[in-house]
């Protein structure tokens, strides 16, 4: 079995024939995503302060873990949620140049390697780039009808964008991005999630699955209690699952129906000066605690670490100790 076939065996909860290693070993080296022109237009900007094509203000410095919405009362796009249509103007995806992304994919051996394209800023993340985060969370409870309508419109645009990506690039996997909790708690009750947010993700993921593409949902926060909803929404892989979630309990609940990629507390190890012993201990802990439950592969929440030296050590230990653990337990 090649690496792609081995990954699919893990995805299908089949008994592995050998230790797979880092979760993205069957993806392009150095960085597992192929960046498409919609992502370049919508989510790949950099700077101390910039305004994107939705009119939202962001910061993304090299030392940041990712782009951070910098929304204030003065610069927020949506001034009045009841009249959100007057403020929200989704950018056009026409006239983009797909040449570079297609060239990247043409160089990939698709028999052995996955093509995965990102879809950053899911409906919730996009909403809280257009208005302050606390206003979004309050509105989910106090004005759910208008919030539902806004999320529905953002999902319409997302489906159009993902559809264009599939038309142009024919990926194996869409890496979809949205966080539903901080490190220790959900942002909302599961009941409210199911009523106000879940229908939009289900519609988006049903569409992706209808096109024959797998769904990898990134959520590197607390989302325990939503794992069965994630399966119902069509999520094949939960990427970035943190150990602040009770991963063994989640593994029992999902019963092999979704692959968990993560298990590593990146905040503890991804430092400018790599503490090799700490990094290796964190990897060993993740494999010892979560590999026995199945449907699990270790990875860093942000796919690769912010600090390259940490990535090198972490990848090495995932492969080295993982193989040792597999030999003892197979």
- CA 192/CA 82 separation, integer angstroms: 19
Is residue 143 over pLDDT 90? yes
Is residue 65 over pLDDT 80? no
**Mean pLDDT of the 1-21 span:** 92
Report the pLDDT value the prediction gives residue 5, as an integer from 0 to 100.
95
In a domain, 310, yes or no: no
Tokens of 68: 């951070």
Report the pLDDT value the prediction gives residue 59, as an integer from 0 to 100.
94
Report the pLDDT value the prediction gives residue 239, as an integer from 0 to 100.
98
Chain centroid, CA 294 distance in Å: 20
In a domain, 197, yes or no: yes
Collapsing DSSP states into helix, strand and coil, what is residue 47?
strand
Tens-digit pLDDT profile for residues 263-274: 999 999 999 998
Tens-digit pLDDT profile for residues 77-87: 999 999 999 99
Tens-digit pLDDT profile for residues 24-42: 999 998 899 999 999 999 9
Tens-digit pLDDT profile for residues 224-233: 999 999 999 9
Is residue 22 over pLDDT 90? yes
Banded pLDDT at 66 (limits 50, 70, 90) = confident
**Mean pLDDT of the 118-124 span:** 96
Decide the pairing of beta strands 57-60 and 68-69.
antiparallel
Is residue 316 over pLDDT 80? yes
CATH number reported for the structural domain that contains residue 129 in this entry: 3.20.20.210
Residues in the chain: 330
Give phi and psi for 177, each to the nearest 5.
-120, 120
149 touches 94 (CB < 8 A): no
Report the pLDDT value the prediction gives residue 16, as an integer from 0 to 100.
86
**Mean pLDDT of the 144-163 span:** 98
In a domain, 313, yes or no: no
Banded pLDDT at 93 (limits 50, 70, 90) = very high
Report the pLDDT value the prediction gives residue 4, as an integer from 0 to 100.
96
What is the count of structural domains for the chain?
1
In a domain, 231, yes or no: yes
Report the pLDDT value the prediction gives residue 62, as an integer from 0 to 100.
81
Helical H segments across 89-142, by residue range? 99-106, 123-130, 133-142
**Residue 144 is part of which domain span?**
96-263
Report the pLDDT value the prediction gives residue 15, as an integer from 0 to 100.
86
Tens-digit pLDDT profile for residues 160-206: 999 999 999 999 999 999 999 999 999 999 999 999 999 999 999 99
In a domain, 279, yes or no: no
Tens-digit pLDDT profile for residues 275-313: 999 999 999 999 999 999 999 999 999 999 989 999 999
């Amino acid at each position: 079995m090649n690496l792609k076939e081995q990954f699919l065996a893990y995805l299908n909860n089949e008994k592995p024939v050998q230790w797979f290693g880092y979760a993205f070993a069957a993806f392009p080296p150095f960085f597992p995503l192929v960046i498409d022109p919609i992502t370049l237009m919508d989510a790949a900007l950099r700077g101390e302060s910039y305004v994107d094509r939705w009119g939202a203000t962001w910061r993304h410095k090299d030392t940041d873990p990712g782009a951070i919405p910098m929304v204030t009362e003065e610069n927020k796009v949506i001034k009045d949620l009841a009249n959100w249509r007057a403020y929200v103007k989704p950018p056009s995806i026409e006239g983009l140049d797909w040449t570079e992304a297609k060239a990247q994919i043409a160089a990939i051996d698709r028999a052995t390697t996955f093509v995965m394209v990102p879809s950053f800023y899911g409906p919730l993340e996009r909403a809280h780039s257009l208005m302050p985060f606390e206003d979004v969370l309050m509105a989910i409870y106090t004005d759910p009808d208008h919030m539902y309508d806004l999320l529905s419109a953002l999902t319409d645009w997302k489906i159009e964008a993902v559809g264009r990506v599939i038309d142009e690039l024919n990926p194996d996997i869409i890496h979809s991005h949205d966080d539903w909790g901080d490190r220790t708690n959900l942002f909302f009750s599961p009941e409210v999630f199911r009523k106000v947010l879940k229908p939009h993700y289900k519609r988006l993921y049903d569409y992706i699955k209808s096109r024959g593409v797998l769904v990898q949902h990134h959520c590197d926060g607390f989302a325990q209690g939503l794992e069965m909803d994630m399966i119902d929404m069509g999520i094949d892989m939960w990427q970035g699952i943190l150990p602040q979630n009770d991963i063994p309990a989640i593994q029992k609940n999902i019963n092999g129906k979704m692959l968990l990629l993560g298990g590593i507390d990146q905040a503890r190890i991804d430092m400018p000066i790599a503490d090799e012993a700490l990094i290796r201990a964190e990897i060993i802990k993740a494999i010892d605690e979560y590999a026995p439950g199945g449907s699990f592969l270790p990875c860093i929440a942000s796919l690769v670490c912010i600090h390259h030296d940490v990535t090198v050590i972490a990848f090495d230990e995932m492969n080295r100790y993982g193989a040792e653990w597999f030999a003892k337990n197979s």
